Structure 1
Amino acid sequence: MTDDFLALVPADGTESMSDPYRRLESDLPVEWRGPLIGPGIENWVARSNGGRKIDLAGVPERLGLELAWMAYWQYRDGAEVMSYHINQLARMLAWVAQYGPTQLPSSWVDWPEEEFRRFFCRFREATTGRPAPASALRLIPSCLRYAQLALAARLHEGPWWMLDRWHPRCDPRIPLREREPLRGDGCIPGDAQIPWVRQAVKWVLGTLLESGAMTWSTLLTARMPALLRLDCWLRTLPDPAVVATDLGQASSLTAEFRRWDSVPANRVRSGRAPRTDRVAPVKVNTDLFAIAELMSFLVDHRQEALSVLGPTPWERLDPAQPAAWRDQAHRHMARPPVLDDGKYVDDHALAQITAYLPVLSASREELVPVSCQGRHDTLRGRDEPQVMRMLLLQILTGRRASEILRCDFDCLSPATDRAVQAAEGEQIARFCYAQSKIGKAPDTILVDAEVVAVIHEQQQWVRERFGGPTRYLFPKRKANADGHKAFPRGSYAEALLVFSDLAQITDSAGRPVQLSHTHRFRHTRLTRLAELGLPVHVLQRYAGHSSPEMSMHYIARRDEHAEQAFVATRKFKADGSLIAFTREDHDGLQLFNRADRFLPNGFCLLPPLQLCDKGNACLTCGVFVTDDSHTAALERQLAETSALIERTTSAFEARHGVPMPADNVWLAQRTAERDALLKLLAAMAAAPGRAVQGAGAPTAAGPVPVEIDTTRYRREPR
């Protein structure tokens, strides 16, 4: 259990009591037990709704105890105590208890919302002579929504997973990791309408969460939605039990579910319009894997399932059925695109983002002029300085949104002496982020002065607003009197969504950039580091991944970078001089894979699968390549060959009295070598800095002229 949520325990330290209402009474301090609540409570004026006292006079004892407990829960939770609305409810309960024609429910937990509305309407008409306004009917139940969920969890006698609604803020029994990225209003397994499906979903997911085999984030975002969609699909079948009882139809049922799950309208709540016109195959595969996981657990724990769930169709589940669901997913895995820059934010868009950031931090009364790339706007401020700094940190560090939102207040520490020396005077520090996705991955990176400045600015803002350090660097602004709650993920996304509509950020191709999709900045940061030549193992360490394959998944394969990398291969040599890269040079580069092709005065470009039949006559071979680095060797060989020819011909003439014939076998070979050396040196002198191929051959080899239509592939298709 984390410190984020209220854990109410009796004063004597005993948790188990036969009467759940005794637990509520033991939770409440004396000043909260009524009938008048307010006097003696610390900061009551600032923490309650208008500083009003809560009057529970005339309310039935148990319902009054529950109202007092829910008010106390709001106080301990850091939210504002809704004293005005609680007083209205107290007056209504007192009136119904005295004059009402029907009996009140025994608990708020057992009070359906529709029945509550009828009671409230009768009360308002009887006391004011006017019907209850619609705003009051909506506001009063919602103001106690979380407190009522906490009350249900506190009164519940069984395991937490037996409840129809799960919310870690309201139920401290739900197991969470230390840095669990929380989002939304929890989940509602009770939405599953088929009883045997609902009970299996609760038990299996609750057991996996308690055992540590599943995290709350995975349950909330992937497993629970998938299993609720399974329940929805089963209700379209004539006999839902066939999914567990008939192995012969397993393949056809999985294929039918894939088709149904691929329709966007089937993946949203009733009455809502789908956001897209297609469903990505990976999302359907996630649902198939979740269903297979549920079935595998029920098969592996068959006897325990029978004792917990009782007789259900799951008893007849065959071990081969989970494999059928997994196979359906494997057959439809999509291949990644060759070029994938859809998640990359280019410099054009980043320039606009940084230009419009002052709009986020400015107050709502301030008009902010913005000029960027020929655009001139004047926008009203959004009063979201935390959102601005969170977005900046994501852009500069490439961290996930949850890792920024839930990082600790004191998240900076000095870098090691080794790192400081390597930085050569640049200010660096070690940033500890809220790593929560991968347990074995590191949770620190080195950051520069710009990141340090943003964090220091945020720390100063927190001290001024909360009077001192809070647990998190980015605390929630409302319902957080003690500063122990992190900035909500939903509020962050909503603020960026509004900001996107105002700024109208576009990339260089004119496509809109939705800032609420903040994971794009992680892709962008890792892509840029990879394009700068960062080694894979260093990139993996910076990204906080457990494998290099995952890091490579984040690298956008951009056409622009591929072109730049190709052009860079011909820019400079080691000495900084310009390289003229030709086909011969490219062939020469392949020699580094074969040591037997290195020659004392050059290289042999003969393909590896071919054999040389020229012996040592490389100088006159058309695939012999040499360059300036072998000039000294070639000149020495020329001098030695010329001297050898002169000595040998002189000795021949002295012995035989006639000059050596030009067609002499030995003289013809040595003369050919000398002439080849002269041609090679002349060719190298004519093209300094370039490699030459076959210049000593009788017919010099060279590039083959090829006519290429360079405009053909750029024409518009007809």
Structure 2
Amino acid sequence: MKSEPVVRAVADAAPVPAPRTPERKRQDKRDPRLSVARLFSEEKAKLLWDSMPEEHRQDHFDSTNMPDDYGRAFRRQTINREKGWFTQAISFHGLPDPMIWELAWCIHQQVAEGYAITPERFQELRRGLVLAIEHGGPQARSARSLTALSHEDWAREVQGAVTRNGSARNRRLVTHVLHSVKHLQDRLAHAYHEGEWWQLDVWNPGLDRRIPQREHEPWGRSVANFSQLTTNWLREAAKWWLSVQLTTERYVWSSVKSRLDHLKWLQWYIDQVGCSGPQLVGLPEQLRPWLRGFVDSLNSHTVMSGPNKGGKLSKNTRRSTLVTIEAFYRWMYDNRAEAVSVLGDRRWGALGAHHCVLFRLEDKPRLTNQPPEDMALEDEVISKIAAGSGTLATPKSEGGLDDRQAFHALMLLIRTGRRMNEVLMMDFEPLLPLLTTSKQEDKEPDGFVARLAYQQTKITGGDPPTIPVDEEIVDIIRRQQEWAREFIAAQGAPEGTTPRYLFLQTRNNPLGMRPYASATFHARLGALTKTLSISDSVGRPVKISRTHTFRHTRATDLMNAGVPIHVVMRYLGHVTPSMTMHYAKTLAVTAEREFLRYKKVTADGRTAEVNPSDLYDLLHLDQRADRVLPNGWCMLPPRQVCSKGNACLTCDKFVTDASHRDELQHQLGQTEALIARRQAQFTARHGEPMGEDNIWLAGRLAETRALNKVLVALDQVKVREDGQLRAVRGAGVVDRPEPRSTMRRQEPTV
């Protein structure tokens, strides 16, 4: 059976615009105008009216007929002492019946979705519409529905009526009508449309409940606008392909949006060079040159906006674009017979096997997924962020940002290592009992006390994600719950209402049904970054808004602490060890960078001659953990046996750096105290102190001399900002000749 006629955007009837690069889409104002005038009928409008409860089917609302749920949702300005709430009247008098039905239904939908209603805005809208109908042009005077004119045409009619009628505040009224009608027409388009949901050129999950989505979707309020694919066959096929992937759960909503962005690059190239329909070219032998031109255009394209403005597209962007286009064509080839039926375009049946592999390996850049060197934050940096995070909750009058929610969310990010949306989309009550056989009174005060359930927004399947948490995290969550209850109570929610989420959107969210927006959280952390101006140990500025660094830091800390990789894997919510090993690479890079940050000195205070990179490799070959000392490292070759016991401070194979200074200073103090005690004991027994030729004292004095030399040398060493330091070494005995570089040390004989 042939599908329903596909709904087009108004823009489809206009001439094809000049080629526009996809990365500029954020600069373009969204114009998802659906041709709702063709969808409207009075019968459909009456069905919307009849679908509402009887008490909601009114052409005006005031203190005499206000339903309870409307009374709580309407923003209150005047007192109604009889019903105990503040309210303001709304009237649709003077408008045609279908328009009244539409406005009443839109209000009903907004209240049901937990939005607040501002009566004065609807009153302003009614005033503008009445002016247009009474004093506008022929189209406006004959209009019976909000869908009769586009939102721009309504604004122009209101402008003309205001001018002719001599009414004041014309600019504000026209702007208000423009934006209000635009929003209401979006709602009505999805309500009036009777075909498959994917046939619409604009997919809006917030208005169309037919669109498949996960229960907790971070991008659930974003819109996918296919009208920017101006080539008809490409737009309709893309909608069908992505709808199937979404319905079968191969893609989630965020994947749909990214794949649509990739297909816009194909549209961009078609606008430049043209094509021969779905087959792209007329003859198979022409396909490779056409695609080669597309690849060359991507490689040479100069970015027009964003942080990389003036540069080239990243390797990941180019590769993902090619992979998406190839996957799209492979799927269309596999389903070409059905495509002819569903899309009503016989040309899809002409696809050949050569459309399954469009690009060669050399066309696709290799992925560059190496994390930056500063992804794992230093302990001192984390301490500074935690100490300054109170600025988020401090009132603006005191120089803060007045956002307690952002403060609580940041504390959870630092302490748990969750992804940003896993925290922001937590259920209101995310704490579960900790399953354990130990008695409550036997638990340590700083041990785990509960399990924290979070929203796994990146990986689907598996057990419900939880992690064990301590009392400090439980306290943060309880404080945020108190704030959320106070917030919805102040917004007029009925007593006993429980918000859906722990962190709440603060605008137009009286029932707590929508989570705190990630964009708002990024903005708060960006402001905190500027306020604190934190730098790491090598002078790099720390961007707190890069929230994934807290996840890398937590993973690195767990691995540093020796936690088994399968436990770290479960804690991070990974499904494969390879995902967790991504953080192990970060740990290795961090460890090497920390090792190379300091110059290496030997027991006599001289800088070592071995390059720090070579020394790092020597110490880590064959898992030589036995060469790592409490106060430095031993450079003895792997098969050599140390015969000096613990006399490292008199050995020419001993090296250390500034990271061990505290331990070395402590060792010097202990050694000097030990010498003083033994001297006192010796004097009491023999009547005179030990001489410097005493075998025991000579060894200890050698150690103190070595320690003093090392400490003086470390104090004189300055760390270069680039972290690329030349390792240094020296002999334990000053007069010892340097060995030839070609000589090999003899193996010890047994």
Per the normalisation by structure 1, the TM-score is 0.71
Residue number in structure 2 paired with 1:697 = none
Equivalence map 1:247-646=2 (5 Å): 247-262=284-299, 277-311=311-345, 313-325=347-359, 327=361, 331-334=364-367, 340-365=372-397, 367=398, 380-417=399-436, 424-428=444-448, 429-442=450-463, 443-467=465-489, 469-555=498-584, 556-557=586-587, 559-562=589-592, 581-584=634-637, 586-587=638-639
- Match for 1:561: what amino acid? A
Residue number in structure 1 paired with 2:227 = 190
CA gap 1:503/1:480 in 2 versus in 1, 3 angstroms: same
Contact 1:147 1:170 in 2 (8 A): no
Residue number in structure 2 paired with 1:127 = 165
Residue number in structure 2 paired with 1:24 = 48
| Aligned-pair CA distance for 1:112 | 2.0
1:52 aligns with 2:84: no
**Aligned-partner SS, 2:280:** helix
Q: Distance in 1 between matches of 2:556 and 2:181?
A: 46
**Aligned-partner SS, 1:533:** coil
Contact 1:405 1:473 in 2 (8 A): yes
| Aligned-pair CA distance for 1:404 | 0.8
| Aligned-pair CA distance for 1:77 | 2.1
- Match for 1:435: what amino acid? Q
CA gap 1:538/1:382 in 2 versus in 1, 3 angstroms: same
Q: Which moved more, 1:53-62 or 1:80-89?
A: 80-89
Q: Distance in 2 between matches of 1:144 and 1:445?
A: 47
Q: Which runs of 5+ in 2 are unaligned?
A: 1-40, 78-86, 490-495, 596-615, 646-698, 700-735, 743-750
Contact 1:227 1:291 in 2 (8 A): yes
Residue number in structure 2 paired with 1:606 = none
**Aligned-partner SS, 1:308:** helix
- Match for 1:159: what amino acid? E
**Aligned-partner SS, 2:195:** coil
**Aligned-partner SS, 1:554:** helix
Contact 1:349 1:506 in 2 (8 A): yes
1:364-409 per-residue CA deviation (whole Å, 9 max, x = no partner) reads 22x2xxxxxxxxxxxx221211111112211111111111111111
- Match for 1:29: what amino acid? P
Q: Distance in 2 between matches of 1:53 and 1:263?
A: 60
| Aligned-pair CA distance for 1:458 | 0.8
- Match for 2:136: what amino acid? G
Residue number in structure 1 paired with 2:15 = none
29, 42, 65: which one aligns with 2:68: 42
- Match for 1:304: what amino acid? E
Residue number in structure 1 paired with 2:269 = 233
Residue number in structure 1 paired with 2:237 = 200
What percent identity do the matched residue pairs reach? 27
138, 141, 148: which one aligns with 1:102: 138
1:385-437 per-residue CA deviation (whole Å, 9 max, x = no partner) reads 11111122111111111111111111112222258899745331211111132
- Match for 2:575: what amino acid? S
CA gap 1:164/1:523 in 2 versus in 1, 3 angstroms: same
Contact 2:146 2:181 in 1 (8 A): no
CA gap 1:168/1:578 in 2 versus in 1, 3 angstroms: closer
1:63 aligns with 2:99: yes
Contact 1:244 1:314 in 2 (8 A): no
Aligned length: 563
- Match for 1:581: what amino acid? C
Per the normalisation by structure 2, the TM-score is 0.68
Q: Which moved more, 1:97-106 or 1:405-414?
A: 97-106
Residue number in structure 1 paired with 2:154 = 116
CA gap 1:385/1:61 in 2 versus in 1, 3 angstroms: same
Q: Distance in 2 between matches of 1:510 and 1:530?
A: 25
CA gap 1:464/1:578 in 2 versus in 1, 3 angstroms: closer
Q: Distance in 1 between matches of 2:138 and 2:537?
A: 67
Contact 2:375 2:552 in 1 (8 A): yes
Highest Rg: 1 or 2?
1
**Aligned-partner SS, 1:323:** coil
**Aligned-partner SS, 1:417:** coil
1:333-366 per-residue CA deviation (whole Å, 9 max, x = no partner) reads 14555x842423333432332232111112222x
Contact 1:364 1:382 in 2 (8 A): yes
Q: Distance in 2 between matches of 1:577 and 1:507?
A: 25
Residue number in structure 1 paired with 2:194 = 157
CA gap 1:65/1:326 in 2 versus in 1, 3 angstroms: farther
Contact 2:213 2:252 in 1 (8 A): yes
Q: Distance in 2 between matches of 1:302 and 1:59?
A: 50
| Aligned-pair CA distance for 1:451 | 1.6
CA gap 1:130/1:234 in 2 versus in 1, 3 angstroms: same
Q: Which runs of 5+ in 1 are unaligned?
A: 1-16, 368-379, 589-624, 630-685, 687-701, 709-718
| Aligned-pair CA distance for 1:303 | 1.4
CA gap 1:83/1:489 in 2 versus in 1, 3 angstroms: same
Q: Which moved more, 1:350-359 or 1:295-304?
A: 350-359
- Match for 1:298: what amino acid? M
| Aligned-pair CA distance for 1:264 | 6.7
- Match for 2:58: what amino acid? G
RCO comparison, higher one (Cα < 8 Å, 6+): 2
CA gap 1:71/1:195 in 2 versus in 1, 3 angstroms: same
Residue number in structure 1 paired with 2:12 = none
Contact 1:359 1:382 in 2 (8 A): yes
Contact 1:395 1:521 in 2 (8 A): yes
CA gap 1:203/1:577 in 2 versus in 1, 3 angstroms: closer
Contact 2:373 2:590 in 1 (8 A): no
Contact 1:471 1:484 in 2 (8 A): yes
Contact 1:31 1:41 in 2 (8 A): yes
Contact 1:475 1:485 in 2 (8 A): yes
Contact 1:527 1:554 in 2 (8 A): yes
Q: Distance in 1 between matches of 2:183 and 2:265?
A: 26
- Match for 2:223: what amino acid? G
1:214 aligns with 2:285: no
| Aligned-pair CA distance for 1:444 | 0.7
**Aligned-partner SS, 1:383:** coil
| Aligned-pair CA distance for 1:179 | 2.2
Q: Distance in 1 between matches of 2:384 and 2:594?
A: 24
Contact 1:183 1:490 in 2 (8 A): no
CA gap 1:265/1:118 in 2 versus in 1, 3 angstroms: farther
RMSD (CA atoms)? 3.4
Q: Distance in 1 between matches of 2:185 and 2:261?
A: 24
| Aligned-pair CA distance for 1:144 | 5.6
1:255-306 per-residue CA deviation (whole Å, 9 max, x = no partner) reads 43334335675576xxx88657343211221111211121122111111111
**Aligned-partner SS, 2:155:** helix
**Aligned-partner SS, 2:358:** helix
**Aligned-partner SS, 1:507:** coil
